[in-house]
Amino acid sequence: MSQTVTGTAKSSRMASRHRRERAADIICLVLLILLALIVMFPIYWIFRSSLMSNAELYAYPPAFLPPEWRFSNYTETLKSFEYLHFLMNTMTILVPAVLGAVVTATMGGYAFARLRFRGKKFLFTLCVGSMLLPSMVTLIPLFIAWSRLGLSNTYWPLILPHFCGGGAFNIFLIRQFVKTVPRELDEAATIDGCGFFRILVFIIVPAIKSAMIVVGLLKFIELWNDLLQQVTYITRRDKYTLALGLNIFRGSFNDDWSSIMCATCLSFIPGIVFYLLGQRYFVEGIVMTGMKN
Protein backbone atom coordinates (compact mmCIF):
# COMPACT_ATOMS: atom_id res chain seq x y z
CA MET A 1 0.00 0.00 0.00
CA SER A 2 2.79 2.39 0.97
CA GLN A 3 4.63 1.62 -2.29
CA THR A 4 1.49 2.49 -4.26
CA VAL A 5 1.13 5.82 -2.43
CA THR A 6 4.82 6.58 -2.94
CA GLY A 7 4.57 5.78 -6.66
CA THR A 8 1.49 7.95 -7.03
CA ALA A 9 3.18 10.90 -5.28
CA LYS A 10 6.29 10.50 -7.45
CA SER A 11 4.29 10.44 -10.67
CA SER A 12 2.32 13.48 -9.48
CA ARG A 13 5.57 15.38 -8.87
CA MET A 14 6.87 14.40 -12.30
CA ALA A 15 3.64 15.54 -13.95
CA SER A 16 3.77 18.83 -12.06
CA ARG A 17 7.41 19.32 -13.11
CA HIS A 18 6.51 18.52 -16.70
CA ARG A 19 3.74 21.14 -16.64
CA ARG A 20 6.11 23.78 -15.22
CA GLU A 21 8.70 23.02 -17.88
CA ARG A 22 6.06 23.19 -20.60
CA ALA A 23 4.79 26.52 -19.27
CA ALA A 24 8.36 27.86 -19.17
CA ASP A 25 8.95 26.73 -22.77
CA ILE A 26 5.76 28.46 -23.91
CA ILE A 27 6.73 31.69 -22.13
CA CYS A 28 10.22 31.60 -23.68
CA LEU A 29 8.75 30.96 -27.12
CA VAL A 30 6.36 33.91 -26.77
CA LEU A 31 9.20 36.18 -25.64
CA LEU A 32 11.39 35.08 -28.54
CA ILE A 33 8.58 35.75 -31.00
CA LEU A 34 8.05 39.23 -29.53
CA LEU A 35 11.77 40.00 -29.69
CA ALA A 36 11.92 38.74 -33.28
CA LEU A 37 8.99 40.97 -34.23
CA ILE A 38 10.68 43.96 -32.60
CA VAL A 39 13.91 43.27 -34.50
CA MET A 40 12.13 42.71 -37.82
CA PHE A 41 9.79 45.71 -37.49
CA PRO A 42 12.28 48.31 -38.88
CA ILE A 43 12.88 46.11 -41.93
CA TYR A 44 9.15 45.74 -42.48
CA TRP A 45 8.69 49.51 -42.06
CA ILE A 46 11.29 50.20 -44.77
CA PHE A 47 9.65 47.69 -47.11
CA ARG A 48 6.19 49.10 -46.36
CA SER A 49 7.42 52.66 -47.00
CA SER A 50 8.96 51.63 -50.31
CA LEU A 51 5.51 50.64 -51.58
CA MET A 52 3.84 53.96 -50.75
CA SER A 53 3.77 57.38 -52.36
CA ASN A 54 5.43 60.35 -50.67
CA ALA A 55 2.02 61.84 -49.86
CA GLU A 56 1.03 58.63 -48.09
CA LEU A 57 4.32 58.59 -46.18
CA TYR A 58 3.69 62.08 -44.82
CA ALA A 59 0.10 61.29 -43.84
CA TYR A 60 -0.81 61.21 -40.14
CA PRO A 61 -1.47 58.88 -38.44
CA PRO A 62 0.89 56.61 -40.39
CA ALA A 63 -0.70 53.54 -41.97
CA PHE A 64 0.60 50.16 -40.86
CA LEU A 65 -0.15 48.69 -44.31
CA PRO A 66 0.25 50.54 -47.63
CA PRO A 67 -3.12 51.82 -48.91
CA GLU A 68 -1.97 50.68 -52.33
CA TRP A 69 0.90 48.29 -53.03
CA ARG A 70 2.95 50.33 -55.47
CA PHE A 71 5.55 47.84 -56.76
CA SER A 72 6.08 50.21 -59.68
CA ASN A 73 8.14 52.34 -57.26
CA TYR A 74 11.01 49.87 -57.70
CA THR A 75 10.88 50.21 -61.47
CA GLU A 76 11.03 53.99 -61.20
CA THR A 77 13.86 53.84 -58.67
CA LEU A 78 15.99 51.60 -60.87
CA LYS A 79 15.87 54.25 -63.60
CA SER A 80 17.96 56.61 -61.46
CA PHE A 81 19.69 54.16 -59.07
CA GLU A 82 22.45 52.19 -60.84
CA TYR A 83 21.76 49.11 -58.76
CA LEU A 84 23.33 46.41 -60.98
CA HIS A 85 26.45 48.49 -61.62
CA PHE A 86 26.94 49.17 -57.90
CA LEU A 87 26.23 45.51 -57.09
CA MET A 88 28.90 44.30 -59.55
CA ASN A 89 31.44 46.71 -58.05
CA THR A 90 30.56 45.48 -54.57
CA MET A 91 30.97 41.82 -55.55
CA THR A 92 34.30 42.65 -57.20
CA ILE A 93 35.53 43.51 -53.71
CA LEU A 94 33.59 40.96 -51.68
CA VAL A 95 34.33 37.74 -53.59
CA PRO A 96 38.16 37.85 -53.51
CA ALA A 97 38.26 39.44 -50.05
CA VAL A 98 35.98 36.81 -48.49
CA LEU A 99 37.77 33.92 -50.21
CA GLY A 100 41.16 35.31 -49.20
CA ALA A 101 40.05 35.77 -45.60
CA VAL A 102 38.65 32.23 -45.34
CA VAL A 103 41.72 30.58 -46.89
CA THR A 104 44.34 32.52 -44.94
CA ALA A 105 42.38 32.35 -41.65
CA THR A 106 42.17 28.57 -42.07
CA MET A 107 45.90 28.31 -42.69
CA GLY A 108 46.71 30.61 -39.77
CA GLY A 109 44.34 28.85 -37.37
CA TYR A 110 45.74 25.46 -38.39
CA ALA A 111 49.30 26.66 -37.83
CA PHE A 112 48.53 28.00 -34.35
CA ALA A 113 46.56 24.88 -33.37
CA ARG A 114 48.77 22.11 -34.77
CA LEU A 115 52.24 23.21 -35.81
CA ARG A 116 55.19 23.72 -33.49
CA PHE A 117 57.50 26.63 -34.17
CA ARG A 118 59.54 29.13 -32.21
CA GLY A 119 57.57 32.13 -30.92
CA LYS A 120 54.15 30.59 -31.54
CA LYS A 121 52.65 31.68 -28.22
CA PHE A 122 54.03 35.20 -28.59
CA LEU A 123 52.71 35.55 -32.13
CA PHE A 124 49.29 34.22 -31.14
CA THR A 125 49.13 36.63 -28.19
CA LEU A 126 50.11 39.47 -30.51
CA CYS A 127 47.46 38.36 -33.00
CA VAL A 128 44.66 38.23 -30.43
CA GLY A 129 45.84 41.48 -28.85
CA SER A 130 45.47 43.26 -32.19
CA MET A 131 41.68 42.98 -31.76
CA LEU A 132 41.98 45.72 -29.13
CA LEU A 133 43.42 48.13 -31.71
CA PRO A 134 40.68 50.42 -33.13
CA SER A 135 40.53 50.54 -36.91
CA MET A 136 40.46 54.35 -36.81
CA VAL A 137 44.01 54.36 -35.42
CA THR A 138 45.43 52.70 -38.52
CA LEU A 139 43.16 54.37 -41.10
CA ILE A 140 45.34 57.39 -41.90
CA PRO A 141 48.73 55.54 -41.91
CA LEU A 142 47.29 52.85 -44.20
CA PHE A 143 45.78 55.44 -46.52
CA ILE A 144 49.16 57.19 -46.83
CA ALA A 145 50.90 53.87 -47.47
CA TRP A 146 48.45 52.81 -50.19
CA SER A 147 48.62 56.26 -51.78
CA ARG A 148 52.41 56.12 -52.01
CA LEU A 149 52.11 52.72 -53.66
CA GLY A 150 49.84 54.28 -56.27
CA LEU A 151 46.86 52.12 -55.29
CA SER A 152 44.52 54.83 -54.05
CA ASN A 153 41.16 55.00 -55.84
CA THR A 154 41.42 51.29 -56.63
CA TYR A 155 39.90 48.21 -55.05
CA TRP A 156 43.23 46.74 -53.93
CA PRO A 157 43.32 48.48 -50.50
CA LEU A 158 39.89 46.96 -49.83
CA ILE A 159 40.91 43.44 -50.92
CA LEU A 160 44.57 42.75 -50.10
CA PRO A 161 44.42 43.33 -46.29
CA HIS A 162 41.93 40.47 -45.99
CA PHE A 163 44.49 38.02 -47.33
CA CYS A 164 46.13 38.17 -43.89
CA GLY A 165 43.46 36.13 -42.14
CA GLY A 166 40.73 38.73 -42.44
CA GLY A 167 41.22 39.72 -38.81
CA ALA A 168 42.48 38.19 -35.58
CA PHE A 169 39.02 36.96 -34.57
CA ASN A 170 38.75 34.78 -37.67
CA ILE A 171 42.12 33.15 -36.98
CA PHE A 172 41.13 32.61 -33.35
CA LEU A 173 37.80 31.06 -34.37
CA ILE A 174 39.44 28.64 -36.80
CA ARG A 175 42.10 27.73 -34.22
CA GLN A 176 39.46 26.83 -31.65
CA PHE A 177 37.69 24.61 -34.17
CA VAL A 178 40.90 22.89 -35.28
CA LYS A 179 41.64 22.06 -31.65
CA THR A 180 38.39 20.07 -31.51
CA VAL A 181 39.64 17.71 -34.24
CA PRO A 182 41.35 14.67 -32.63
CA ARG A 183 45.12 14.65 -33.12
CA GLU A 184 44.97 10.91 -33.74
CA LEU A 185 43.69 11.69 -37.25
CA ASP A 186 46.81 13.77 -37.93
CA GLU A 187 49.06 11.02 -36.62
CA ALA A 188 47.34 8.38 -38.74
CA ALA A 189 47.67 10.58 -41.83
CA THR A 190 51.34 11.20 -41.06
CA ILE A 191 51.98 7.45 -40.87
CA ASP A 192 50.35 7.15 -44.32
CA GLY A 193 52.82 9.70 -45.67
CA CYS A 194 50.73 12.90 -45.61
CA GLY A 195 52.43 16.22 -45.02
CA PHE A 196 51.05 19.24 -43.23
CA PHE A 197 49.32 20.62 -46.32
CA ARG A 198 47.55 17.35 -47.20
CA ILE A 199 46.44 16.93 -43.58
CA LEU A 200 44.97 20.43 -43.70
CA VAL A 201 43.16 19.91 -47.01
CA PHE A 202 41.87 16.35 -46.59
CA ILE A 203 41.31 16.09 -42.82
CA ILE A 204 41.05 19.47 -41.14
CA VAL A 205 39.07 21.39 -43.77
CA PRO A 206 36.18 18.86 -44.01
CA ALA A 207 35.96 18.80 -40.21
CA ILE A 208 35.82 22.58 -39.76
CA LYS A 209 33.61 23.42 -42.74
CA SER A 210 31.02 25.14 -40.53
CA ALA A 211 33.67 27.39 -38.97
CA MET A 212 34.94 28.40 -42.41
CA ILE A 213 31.40 29.30 -43.45
CA VAL A 214 31.06 31.40 -40.28
CA VAL A 215 34.25 33.27 -41.18
CA GLY A 216 32.93 33.86 -44.69
CA LEU A 217 29.59 35.13 -43.38
CA LEU A 218 31.16 37.46 -40.84
CA LYS A 219 33.57 38.83 -43.42
CA PHE A 220 30.77 39.27 -45.96
CA ILE A 221 28.62 41.22 -43.49
CA GLU A 222 31.60 43.32 -42.38
CA LEU A 223 32.56 44.31 -45.93
CA TRP A 224 28.96 44.81 -47.04
CA ASN A 225 28.47 47.43 -44.30
CA ASP A 226 31.95 48.97 -44.46
CA LEU A 227 31.16 52.46 -45.68
CA LEU A 228 34.14 54.16 -44.00
CA GLN A 229 36.86 52.23 -45.85
CA GLN A 230 35.05 52.59 -49.17
CA VAL A 231 34.61 56.35 -48.73
CA THR A 232 38.30 56.65 -47.88
CA TYR A 233 39.71 54.82 -50.90
CA ILE A 234 37.06 55.22 -53.64
CA THR A 235 36.26 58.62 -55.14
CA ARG A 236 35.31 57.83 -58.74
CA ARG A 237 31.61 57.28 -59.37
CA ASP A 238 32.19 54.41 -61.81
CA LYS A 239 33.84 52.47 -58.94
CA TYR A 240 31.14 53.13 -56.34
CA THR A 241 29.82 50.18 -54.35
CA LEU A 242 26.24 49.75 -53.14
CA ALA A 243 26.98 51.48 -49.85
CA LEU A 244 28.50 54.50 -51.61
CA GLY A 245 25.83 54.52 -54.31
CA LEU A 246 23.05 54.45 -51.71
CA ASN A 247 24.73 57.26 -49.78
CA ILE A 248 24.92 59.44 -52.91
CA PHE A 249 21.38 58.48 -53.93
CA ARG A 250 20.05 59.49 -50.54
CA GLY A 251 21.76 62.87 -50.84
CA SER A 252 20.33 63.44 -54.32
CA PHE A 253 16.73 62.58 -53.33
CA ASN A 254 16.37 64.29 -49.97
CA ASP A 255 12.56 64.56 -50.11
CA ASP A 256 11.76 61.48 -52.19
CA TRP A 257 11.56 59.03 -49.30
CA SER A 258 9.72 56.43 -51.34
CA SER A 259 12.64 56.10 -53.78
CA ILE A 260 15.16 56.13 -50.93
CA MET A 261 13.32 53.27 -49.22
CA CYS A 262 13.21 51.31 -52.49
CA ALA A 263 16.97 51.74 -52.95
CA THR A 264 17.53 50.72 -49.32
CA CYS A 265 15.51 47.52 -49.75
CA LEU A 266 17.40 46.65 -52.92
CA SER A 267 20.69 47.22 -51.10
CA PHE A 268 20.12 44.90 -48.15
CA ILE A 269 18.34 42.06 -49.98
CA PRO A 270 21.58 40.34 -51.20
CA GLY A 271 23.03 40.43 -47.69
CA ILE A 272 19.91 38.87 -46.19
CA VAL A 273 19.83 36.15 -48.86
CA PHE A 274 23.50 35.32 -48.31
CA TYR A 275 23.00 35.12 -44.53
CA LEU A 276 19.92 32.91 -44.82
CA LEU A 277 21.82 30.46 -47.03
CA GLY A 278 24.49 29.98 -44.37
CA GLN A 279 22.42 30.53 -41.24
CA ARG A 280 22.52 26.90 -40.13
CA TYR A 281 26.30 26.76 -40.36
CA PHE A 282 26.59 30.15 -38.67
CA VAL A 283 24.65 29.02 -35.60
CA GLU A 284 26.49 25.67 -35.52
CA GLY A 285 29.86 27.39 -35.80
CA ILE A 286 29.18 29.82 -32.97
CA VAL A 287 27.73 27.14 -30.66
CA MET A 288 30.48 24.59 -31.25
CA THR A 289 33.44 26.98 -30.97
CA GLY A 290 35.96 25.69 -28.45
CA MET A 291 34.11 22.43 -27.66
CA LYS A 292 35.99 19.17 -27.56
CA ASN A 293 34.73 16.05 -29.28
Task: Check residue 98 and give its pLDDT.
Answer: 93
> How far is Cα 17 from Cα 20, in angstroms, rounded to an integer?
5
Q: Name the band, by pLDDT with cuts 50, 70 and 90, for residue 293.
A: very low
pTM of the model: 0.80
Task: Check residue 291 and give its pLDDT.
Answer: 47
Number of separate domains in the chain: 2
> How far is Cα 53 from Cα 105, in angstroms, rounded to an integer?
47
Q: Are residues 225 and 181 in the same domain?
A: yes
Last residue within a domain, chosen from 72, 106, 132: 72
Q: Name the band, by pLDDT with cuts 50, 70 and 90, for residue 292.
A: very low
Q: Are residues 116 and 213 in the same domain?
A: yes
The pLDDT tens digits of the residues spanning 10-37 come to 666 777 777 788 888 899 999 999 998 9
Q: Which DSSP symbol is given to 160?
A: G
Read off the CATH number of the domain in which 254 is found.
Answer: 1.10.3720.10
Q: Are residues 106 and 143 in the same domain?
A: yes
Q: Are residues 66 and 83 in the same domain?
A: no
Give the H/E segment covering residue 97: helix 83-114
Average pLDDT, the chain: 84
* 83 occurs within a structural domain: yes
The pLDDT tens digits of the residues spanning 212-234 come to 888 988 898 888 888 888 888 98
Last residue within a domain, chosen from 30, 52, 72: 72
Q: Which DSSP symbol is given to 235?
A: -
* 87 occurs within a structural domain: yes
Q: Given a cut of 50, is residue 189 above it in pLDDT? A: yes
Q: Are residues 148 and 201 in the same domain?
A: yes
* 247 occurs within a structural domain: yes
Q: Are residues 173 and 231 in the same domain?
A: yes
* 293 occurs within a structural domain: no
- Domain boundaries, position 216: 77-288
DSSP calls for 32-91: HHHHHHHHHHHHHHHHHHHTS-HHHHT-SSPPSS-SS--THHHHHHHHHS-HHHHHHHHH
Give the H/E segment covering residue 7: helix 2-50
Q: Which residue did the predictor score with more confidence, 74 or 255?
A: 74
Q: Are residues 37 and 107 in the same domain?
A: no
Strand ranges (E), the chain? none
Q: Are residues 67 and 88 in the same domain?
A: no
Q: Are residues 96 and 232 in the same domain?
A: yes
Q: Are residues 26 and 171 in the same domain?
A: no
Last residue within a domain, chosen from 52, 72, 92: 72
Residue burial 20-56, b: 16+ Cβ < 10 Å; e: rest: eeeeeeeeeeeeeeeeeeeeeeeeeeebbbbbbeeeb
Q: Given a cut of 60, is residue 150 above it in pLDDT? A: yes
Q: Which DSSP symbol is given to 155?
A: S
Q: Are residues 152 and 52 in the same domain?
A: no
Q: Which DSSP symbol is given to 208?
A: T
Q: Are residues 20 and 89 in the same domain?
A: no
Report how far apart, in Å, the C-alpha atoms of 181 and of each of 9, 117, 206, 265 are: 47, 20, 10, 41
